[in-house]
């Protein structure tokens, strides 16, 4: 396995572990993991966090 393959495997393994999973993420964890992945168009493997279009609902109608 070459160095590039090792880096890719390591990244995939890191993607499986969600920082802040205690669900009290730090500001750094929010930016570095959740928001960066959102901006890069990556999906979360665990769908505990859903994305809602806030402009589509009135506050009392939020799911």
Query: pLDDT tens digits for 20-63?
Result: 665 677 888 888 887 888 888 887 666 666 778 889 999 888 87
| C-alpha distances in Å from residue 55, one per residue of 3, 5, 13, 48 | 45, 42, 35, 21
Q: Angle 19-10-27 (CA atoms, 0-180°, nearest 5)?
A: 20
pLDDT at 37: 83
59 neighbors 31 (Cβ within 8 angstroms) = no
pLDDT at 54: 87
d(Cα 63, Cα 58) in Å, to the nearest integer? 10
pLDDT at 21: 62
pLDDT at 46: 61
Most confident of 2-6, 16-20, 51-55: 51-55
């Amino acid at each position: 396995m070459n160095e590039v393959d090792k880096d890719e495997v390591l990244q995939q393994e890191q993607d499986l572990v969600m920082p802040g999973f205690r669900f009290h993420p730090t500001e750094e964890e929010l930016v570095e993991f959740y928001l960066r992945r959102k901006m890069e168009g990556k999906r979360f493997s665990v769908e505990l966090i859903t994305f809602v279009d806030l402009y589509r609902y009135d506050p009392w109608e939020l799911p």
